[in-house]
Structure 1
């Protein structure tokens, strides 16, 4: 993974933590729901990325 990929991963993690923390300051149950939904979305995006990486492009003849 290059430095841009690492920076994007760290920025995403920090943004997730700050968003959930801000919502928890308003309401704990809502904060837990937001955290769960965001983790589900993250898992979906990671699954799409893994599927793209596993796809083998065959050259045209």
Structure 2
């Protein structure tokens, strides 16, 4: 359980540092990186939620 929490925190910190570093160079680029990262994260979360959903026996 601790490993799951640590991996979430490491991912969040890495994403924040990536966006912050890009913002130091080019602010609109940081917005693009943040948007792409959030879309990728939502896709991953959606696939994980779909994998946890039990499948019907008839299908």
Question: Do both share a fold (TM > 0.5)?
Answer: yes
The RMSD of aligned alpha carbons is 1.5
Q: What's the counterpart of residue 27 of structure 2?
A: 28
Structure 2, gaps ≥5 residues long: none
Structure 1, gaps ≥5 residues long: none
1:1-40 alignment to 2 at 5 Å? Answer: 2-40=1-39
Q: TM-score, normalised by structure 1?
A: 0.85
Counterparts of 2:7 and 2:33 in 1: how far apart (Å)?
21
Give aligned pairs, total: 57
Which segments of structure 1 move beyond 2 Å, counting only runs of 4 or more? none
Q: TM-score, normalised by structure 2?
A: 0.88
